Homo-oligomer: A and B are copies of this chain.
Amino acid sequence: MAAVAVTMVRRLLRSGPRPGLCGAGGREPGAAPRRAIGHGRVAVELDSSAGVAVMKMENLPVNSLSLDFLTEFLISLEKLENDRGCRGVILTSGAPKIFSAGLDIMEMYRKSTEHYAEFWKTVQEMWLRLYQSNMVTIAAINGSSPAGGCLMAMCCDYRIMAENPKYSIGLNETQLGIVAPFWFKDTMVNTIGNRATERSLELGLLYSPPEAHKIGLVDQLVPEEKIQSTAAAVMSQWLAIPDHARQITKSMMRKPTVDRLLAHRESDIQNFVSFITKDAIQKSLHMYMEMLKQRRG
C-alpha cells in the first residue's frame, strides 16, 4: 500500500503542480461555504454547509481512466476522505453524453510490463478507496458507463441514471475479447446477484437505463436535467443517518469482498500483466483501436 501511495505522489509531481489541488480541504477558517477544489481533470466543488462534495470527472472527451486521471481522482478522493467537513460525495461527469468510458486502452497497449503493473495497481486502488469510502457516495450517471465506468458507479452507495435512451451501462469486457477481473465480478454480484451477473458478464451486456433499473444495476432513473438535484436530495436522506453507524454497517457489508482482493492483489496484477502482454490480446486491442479511429474519421 505504501508503495502505491509513493507511486502516486511521484506521478503527481511528474505531471507538475496543479494549483487547484493545493490548499484543498476544509481547514481554513472563514472560507466560503462553496469552494472549488481541483481544477485539473477532477473538478471538486465542496458545499461546506451541507458537507457534500461534487466530484466532476473532466478527462475529455470520454473520461477514460488513464493512469494520470486515476491518480488525480485518488488524490482528490483522499483529500475529501480526510476532510471532516465532507460527509458525502456525488460522483458525476463533466463530459457530454458519457459518465466514463472505462479503463484507458492506451495504458494497455504497447507499454512495458512495469507500466502495466503500475496501471493495474492504480485501478485496484481506485476500487479499494471508492468501494470502502467512509463518505456517502452517490453516482449521478449522466452518460454512458461501460466497463470501468460501470465499476465506478457500482462502487457507490446509490446510483441515479439519466433516462436518456442513448445511454447504456454494463461490464462489456467480453465484447472486446477481454475478461472482467474477479473483483469487478464480485462487485456486480453484490449489486445485481449471481445469475444476472453471469449473463451480463458472459455476453458483455450493456443495458439501457430502463433495463439497468429493472435488474437493479441502477437504483433510480430521472430526466437528465434533474439528475444533480435528485442526487442532492437523495444525499440528504443518506446524511440523516448517523455517520458512525452507517460506516460500520457499510464496512460489514463490503469488507469480505475487499478482503478477497487484498488477499490476491499481487497475483491479480500478475494475471493482468500476463494476459495483456499476450500477442492475441495486443492484436485485438490494435484492431479495436483501428475501428475507433475509422469511426471518428
Q: Measuring CB to CB, which residues of chain A are less than 8 angstroms from any residue of chain B? A: 157-158, 173-180, 182, 185, 189-195, 197-199, 201-204, 216, 219, 237-238, 241-242, 244-246, 248-250, 252-254, 280, 284
Q: Which residues of B contact A194 (CB under 8 A)?
A: 189-191, 193, 253
Of A185, A202, A246, which is in contact with the most chain B CB atoms at under 10 Å from its CB? A202
Q: Which residues of B contact A280 (CB under 8 A)?
A: 244
Of A158, A180, A245, A254, which is in contact with the most chain B CB atoms at under 10 Å from its CB? A245
**CB–CB B195/A249 < 8 A:** no
Give bound CA distance, A168 to B111, whole Å: 55
Q: How far is the CB of A164 from chain B (nearest CB, A)?
A: 24
**CB–CB A179/B238 < 8 A:** no
Q: Which residues of B contact A192 (CB under 8 A)?
A: 195
**CB–CB B174/A249 < 8 A:** yes
Q: How far is the CB of A239 from chain B (nearest CB, A)?
A: 11
Q: Which residues of B contact A252 (CB under 8 A)?
A: 179, 182, 185, 201
**CB–CB B216/A179 < 8 A:** no
Count the copies. 3
**CB–CB B179/A248 < 8 A:** yes
**CB–CB A242/B177 < 8 A:** yes
Q: How far is the CB of A254 from chain B (nearest CB, A)?
A: 8
**CB–CB A246/B216 < 8 A:** no
Q: Which residues of B contact A190 (CB under 8 A)?
A: 194-195, 198
Which residue on chain B has the smallest CB distance to residue A201? B249
Give bound CA distance, A253 to B245, whole Å: 30
Of A191, A201, A253, which is in contact with the most chain B CB atoms at under 10 Å from its CB? A253
**CB–CB B157/A202 < 8 A:** yes
**CB–CB A241/B204 < 8 A:** yes
